[in-house]
Chain A
């Protein structure tokens, strides 16, 4: 259990007054709030900052902490020796609990919404809702698909001990789900306490990026590479879609960046299908032998084409 320097966490001096502490806390809480921050350790940082403030804003707790800190965390008066109640899984750290006791966090504090699997025990309480990411391939959204999901559930036994158990569920994912959508599985969340209803499980749909297709709302985009002569003369080519290959006609004199619409080959939506757009990209061959080079030279001398015409205006 690491010693936590609450002054350092809030970046305030040891003799900072309560106003300075409040300001420092507010600033950091805004910075690291998990709903606002993109910081990858935002949740950890936010908890740490909240814990530090919980102690330093309260003169009594602060004095107790100062005492503990002064003796480098070696004060014996507060240690319960065995340190056996590790089953407590609260918002505050073990370090906090070791000084102030496991029940001190949040007492009299206006209930803070928790982010983890905490539960405030009371009679007949509904179980916690749990949210988990559900990665989905684009191919899976075309029709209803069946997925297996594993998640962890806090489990409270008869003695009030909390542990985590692994749950596995088979889930039907409806056709046409969209990125960020949430699917609710009623009663599959945390168990209710004292006869309370179970919480729910929410699956947050995360679309896995596809190697070939980009997504634009309910449309798909595929980049189609073309040889210069295919772009010039037109061609019929095979294009992959999410459900097999199709034939696509490239008109003569096509350009890089041009979009060809393939109707109804996009993603499934609640109403109808999106489209697939083929975006053309003219590419040059990597190597050119002498014969090919000669052909390019013939082309260069006979084609009256200035690709930089706009510069000479």
Chain B
């Protein structure tokens, strides 16, 4: 199957967002497509889901895009740390008796 990519136009379609909003989201580094300009941009499925999350936060909590860039990077970090914590706990449990 390989990695699945979306063009800029496709991302606009699946998220139902105007191109200007996507450009703004990319400008804030919330998602980082491959390619150098909108014509060559390639987005993966993860970026589609981050775009949707960004949009929900923007609409529901009235956060501006730079605030969202911060929130999303902190959320990602939190998720990584939770994941790591879970792994370490699981490994530790194999060493502790009873």
Contact = CB atoms under 8 A, between A and B. Distances in A.
Interface of A: 26, 29-30, 33-36, 46, 50, 110-113, 115, 126, 129, 131, 172, 174, 179, 181-184, 197, 199-200, 202, 209, 214-216, 221, 223, 256-257, 270, 279, 281
Contacts of B61: 26, 29-30, 33
B87 A215 contact: yes
20 contacts: A26-B62, A33-B60, A34-B56, A35-B56, A113-B56, A113-B59, A126-B16, A172-B1, A179-B83, A184-B4, A184-B48, A200-B14, A209-B90, A214-B87, A214-B91, A214-B94, A216-B87, A223-B91, A256-B95, A257-B95
Name the residue in A113, A199, A256, A281 with the highest tally of chain B Cβ atoms < 10 Å from its Cβ.
Answer: A113
Interface string B13-50: 11010000000000000000000000000000110110
Name the residue in B1, B53, B59, B71 with the highest tally of chain A Cβ atoms < 10 Å from its Cβ.
Answer: B1
Interface of B: 1-4, 13-14, 16, 45-46, 48-49, 52-53, 55-57, 59-62, 71, 75, 83, 87, 90-91, 94-95
A151 B46 CA distance: 21
Interface of B is mostly: helix
B45 A184 contact: yes
Name the residue in B45, B52, B75 with the highest tally of chain A Cβ atoms < 10 Å from its Cβ.
Answer: B45
Name the residue in A110, A115, A182, A257 with the highest tally of chain B Cβ atoms < 10 Å from its Cβ.
Answer: A182
